[in-house]
Structure 1
Amino acid sequence: MPRFTDEDNALLEELGVDADEKPTGQAPHVERVIAGFEDIQRFVAEKGHPPRHGEEHDIFERLYAVRLDRLRALEECRAILLPLDHQGLLADPAAPAASAPEELDDDALLAELGVTAEAPDIGELRHVRSAAERRQTEEIANRQRCEDFDRFKPLFQQVQAELDSGLRQTIRFERKSEIAPERFYILGGQKAYVAAMEEPFTNEHGNIDARLRVVFDNGTESNLLMRSLQKALQQDPSGRRIVDPSAGPLFADYSEDGDEASGTVYVLRSKSDHPMVAANRQVVHKIGVTGGDVERRLAAARLDPTFLMADVEVVATYKLFNINRSRLENVIHRIFSPARLDIEIKDRFGNPIAPKEWFLIPLLAVDQAVEKIRDGTIKDYVYDPKTATLKSGV
């Protein structure tokens, strides 16, 4: 028996092959016939009746019905399967054949089952999945009613409202994406919330795994393994993760291959002689995001009420890549809203203006916020004016 390295096991797992499954010593075509029959047996155990023909039934039931007819008709298959037929399926004459089996020779009948006389590579088998694939599919599909869904319904409503407003967005779930508790995903067109994660463990392939409680927005839930959910999200063409626009490494001093610079977050200090500003100059800051040159943006500051009709000093800048600027600016302003500067000035025509982008915050708090944006945890924090720091709001 070949010995597999850790790297081999990881590769086999990604392919859906269970390296721990022991060889049976049977011919490949025999194993395939048994695997196909086991699919039918699972259907009967779940539904309580043999698969039936007819367009009123779903496609999988009709496929199983045709397969069962073929298995009944082939004496070689009956001989293989009779010792395994604890449900009496092979002896049941009730289901009519879709077409007369005697009209096909053995090779054609085997072809209908997805098995050729030459016993091709198992990767060519039709309608018969590996044991690992079957276990994964069954685990994902095995859902039950969520008895305490009232606890989670407001969370789904909130995340949908945030998606509608643009505060959150969805990103394609890729292989390197992580599963974490209290995060939302989209699987099979439904929003999924990881309500709990048990203690991680190392599975038989040497990979980290954990048992999850996943609640879906249709009021059902499933108890499944983290790696099963990861694979299901990867294989689902519409599999997504729902993220806050601040999630992920948004800022860097360099751009990696494929990145496109999106702009700059800037922090300004005003040179205004307004009494409120003059008395608190070291903690009065304006935070903005621009896609252009910062200095050019500030050239006419003394004529712009947004800049308090005065020159300004740039005290910090942060380059950002691949980010929606308006969304990011909204997030920053929302975090610091408890410390928004309440000030009114007159523009050059004498009209009163109340700028909204100035805050009574120390520069250290801005640095702290940028770090939280970088590591994707900014949504969990609020600004506390009493301590002049960010605090967990969870």
Structure 2
Amino acid sequence: MTDLDLDELRAELDDFAQPEKKGGRSAREERIIAGFEEVQRFFEEHGRAPQHGEDNDIFERLYAVRLDRLRALEECRSLLSPLDYQGLLTGAESAPAAPEEAVDEDELLAELRDAAGASDITELRHVRTAADKRAAEEIANREKCEDFDRFKPLFIQVKKDIDSDIRQTRPFQTMAEIKKGEFFIVGGQIAYVAEVGEEFTTQYERRDSRLRVIYDNGTESDVLLRSLQRALHRDEAGRRITDPVAGPLFAGESAEGDLASGTIYVLRSKSDHPLVAAHRDVLHKIGVTSGDVERRIANAKLDPTFLMAEVEVVATYELYNVNRTKLENLIHRIFGLAQLDVEIKDRFGNPVIPREWFLVPLFVVNEAVDRIKDGTITDYTYDPKAAALVRVA
């Protein structure tokens, strides 16, 4: 082994020595500067000093508390003044903390560690505010809906409405109004506002109400209106489901300048299929055509849509200036719960499931047409057990 003199050994050890601290600063001073630099970066990114408030990001709340402390301590002001090119130590951009936010920086850091299990806050992403968490917890706090049978038909119809473009889903606007009878999509489920309680004023002078919200999985929650608003706003997939609007689909008589748009037809099948024969008097095909009805049914016995059998026309209703596709979708939505479930073989032996046959008495179809004419049909649905149109709750 080659002998080394003391100078060579010292030079070799110097390579492993800890670097000297810049400017001779203590570890505490280095931490103060590093913390202030994080606040400065926030200012550069957002164009303002961090602010208090439970609705703000938890990092911003932490920086706001930190900045308050740095401003209050003479030691920190003296150390940081040469670095404060943004005027943060002398500015007043940071609003005072709200009374309910009695939390210091250590508590905020602890909250961050609990949320993400990491000690380095720069590694965290998407930490929710306290308000977000309260809203999510309130929405998630559900129980079984004991009278869900009352609401199940509504959810079935809404889903069909969406599939047939009678209803649309639209992004929820920030803190938009919520009313009784409206449908929303939140947390991946359809939610129905069944009841809205009396309005009251919170301790922060905000108006609020207690809601009974029913979900399509058979659960319900007793939730504050503002909590549902926040949950819908924070949910990227949160949507409002629009109301179906029929409008003046019919003109009672064709006025001058009107163009005939088509015909609603109601047919009865002459098929000898056991299921058809057993319900022949109340089984009807309800459709809309732009052409001649007789021509439409001319080859019924060759068409699985007509159950591969002859049919008879039992009623027709002429329309004017109507979107036929939307009208047909609307009719099928109203009678969706009474749709015939049967499989028919076509001429080539292929199975077909017709979709336009419904177990509905003719007098109910007549009533539905009358309600389409006066624009009230969207307030009703068909109840197969009562064999009648019933007003939607």
* Shorter-chain TM-score range: 0.3 to 0.5
Q: TM-score, normalised by structure 2?
A: 0.43
